[in-house]
Amino acid sequence: MRYERLVIQAGSNSFSLDLHPRLTVIAGVGKLERDGLVGELIGALGASRTGVHAEIVRDDGRHLAVFRPEGGRHRIVDIGNATDVSKEFTTPEGRLDLLAHAGIELRRARRRMRLAAGDLATGTQGATLIRQLADVDQHRLWAAAENLRRTDDRLQQVAEAVGSAPEDAAVIDKIEQRHQAFEAAQERHEKFRAKSIGIALAGAVSAIPIAFFSRIAAFGPLFLASVTVLVSVVFRSLMERAARAEEEALAEAGAQSYLGFHLQRVNGLLSSDQNRRQLMTAAEEHNKATAEWKTMAGDIQVDWAFEHREEILAAARLRRDMTALGAMSATAPDMDDDRTTDLARVLVGRLAELRHLGHGGEAFPLILDDPFVDLDPGMKPSLLELLGHSAGSPQLIFLTEDEDVASWARLEALTGALSIIEPTPEHVDEVGAKRAARLSA
């Protein structure tokens, strides 16, 4: 949806604004005038702005005229068909409301369709994480995210099917690893113990006759027997350590023995090789998917990424666009300037939101309430380049008293990419007077 014209009527006087389909800069308006114009623009789509008329074009191409005369019947006309379509946009309370028709409350429209300097500053707080994800190859990032969600769903399904929980897989894996380590240590100990007994006995027996000829020579077999016994003790110590590690893992699971764990855990889950294999296979796939995601996204939660997916994709496109602009324009932003890119991504995120604000995917205009007024002058050209490049989807209306913005708009208007409206002081006073008259009425 976009505005074509806004007409503000007060008595016999009227004030009209013809708006560019992509970007209109209304320059030379102070805070009070901006507040008034924001109210008129958004209110024209709502149900409470008597004396404010508008011509709009919807996303489906319908050209509508909204008439709200003072003391007369409010109506909406389809200009293309020359038919009254008021009934289509009438609320159960009997009011004409284009916002309600799109499933948007007036309060939400005021919050989302207006972007001021404070909104821009607040929005940069989450931009660091968005920037981090936008810098990653987007195909690989979202493939990893989808894979992580898929394996998580699979793990949940398998766990439920076998009467377990996803967390059991980690416990099972830990116990199995500890038990396998214990069994390996026990096997090594038993094998060496059998050999060590024979070696020790052979060494001791052989040392007796050797001692008759040379006591010094007898120390060799005795030393070998002693070392064998010592190594056997070491292997036994390793086996006992593995056994204690297994017991600790079992204790964490609330079991007293490996067999007891098999019998105790989720009604024989581990006693079924098929159930165990299914659960462990699902867990292994999920662990691989988690590792792949962490490699690209670090500690950022995949759910958070999905919630901000459109912003991340928009930010990634922004990087590509800015790289292209850098080859053509000296005013393209330096992508190493975090502050500028964070602000740019907030703008792109809001633009992306406005493209589908209505419940049917209807786009709505973005009204910029002098958002760059507090920025360093060196940051403005790149952000203005971004707006000029993105304008049209959605329509932008830039209200400002910033001469930097006005100067930029005057040059861009020569190309036809936007229009600039610069009210004279008399016009500004007239708008303020009409607004004051309506408010006091």
Residue 241: pLDDT band (50, 70, 90) is confident
Is pLDDT above 60 for 46?
Answer: yes
Greater confidence, 294 or 438? 294
Greater confidence, 187 or 360? 360
Residue 199: pLDDT band (50, 70, 90) is low
User: What DSSP state is assigned to residue 135?
Assistant: T
Greater confidence, 341 or 160? 341
Greater confidence, 241 or 53? 53
Lowest average pLDDT, out of 22-26, 322-326, 351-355, goes to: 322-326
Burial class (CB in 10 A: 0-12, 13-18, 19+), 72: exposed
Residue 129: pLDDT band (50, 70, 90) is confident
Lowest average pLDDT, out of 86-95, 374-383, 425-434, goes to: 425-434
Residue 284: pLDDT band (50, 70, 90) is confident
Residue 335: pLDDT band (50, 70, 90) is very low
Distance CA 132, CA 300 (A): 10
Beta-carbon contacts of 77 under 8 Å, excluding residues fewer than 6 positions away, are 64, 65, 67, 83, 84, 85
Identity at 368, one-letter amino acid code? L
Distance CA 204, CA 222 (A): 6
pLDDT at 222: 53
For residue 198, the surrounding DSSP H or E stretch is helix 166-213
Q: Are 16 and 5 in contact (CB under 8 A)?
A: yes
pLDDT at 301: 84
Rank 209-223, 248-262, 283-297, 328-342 by mean pLDDT and report only the highest: 283-297
Distance CA 221, CA 210 (A): 9
What CATH architecture does domain 2-126+343-440 belong to?
Answer: 3-Layer(aba) Sandwich (3.40)
Q: Are 422 and 410 in contact (CB under 8 A)?
A: no
pLDDT at 248: 67
pLDDT at 177: 67
Q: Which two tokens stand for residue 111?
A: 């919050």
Q: Summarize the confidence of residues 228-244 as an average pLDDT.
A: 67
Asked if the peptide bond before residue 365 counts as cis, ω within 30 degrees of 0, the response is no
Residue 312: pLDDT band (50, 70, 90) is confident
Distance CA 130, CA 236 (A): 55
Distance CA 190, CA 166 (A): 37
Distances (CA, A) of 125 to 133, 268, 346, 351: 15, 50, 9, 17
Greater confidence, 171 or 51? 51
Entry pTM: 0.59
pLDDT at 214: 53
pLDDT at 265: 44
Average pLDDT, the chain: 78
- Whose tokens are 């901006």? That residue is 34
Helix (H, G, I), strand (E, B) or coil at 223: helix
Q: Summarize the confidence of residues 113-124 as an average pLDDT.
A: 82
Is pLDDT above 50 for 7?
Answer: yes
